[in-house]
Structure 1
Amino acid sequence: MALTIGKLNDYPRRIEQDIKALIEKYHAMMGNNLPDLDEDLADAFIMLEVRKVLKSIQDDKLEKLIS
């Protein structure tokens, strides 16, 4: 499959949709366990964890590049 500029330009939108779906998935899971947790606060906790995981993945990839 050839990678075109049009396909590259579409990635941010697709990534955004995937991340939003992931946050919704984990929000639903948390909601079952913590029904009184504020929705925005729950989303903030989930996004914080997503950022931590992405940072860890990024660090691993960069380490491989410089090693």
Structure 2
Amino acid sequence: MERESYKGGRVECFFLGSLENDSYYMLDVNSLYPFVMRSNPFPVKYIRISHNYTVGGLHRIVRTKAVVAKVLIET
């Protein structure tokens, strides 16, 4: 699920114009995300898997815990 949420990134223009007469490097800063995840500690196991939380129950949990959720929202 975490891989499904990895989309997009920060896109900015730091220079407008023509770059001439010098050497330049192109950097894909968005690709730093996998590098950081590989090089730093990250929780990889769930403490608990639970189902069918109420809105109130989930509201209490997210005050002190990190939550990964797959939800269905009816519109």
Same fold (TM over 0.5): no
The higher relative CO (CA closer than 8 Å, separation ≥ 6) is in 2
TM-score of the pair, normalised by structure 1? 0.30
Structure showing greater radius of gyration is 2
Q: Tell me which protein shows more helix as a share of its residues.
A: 1
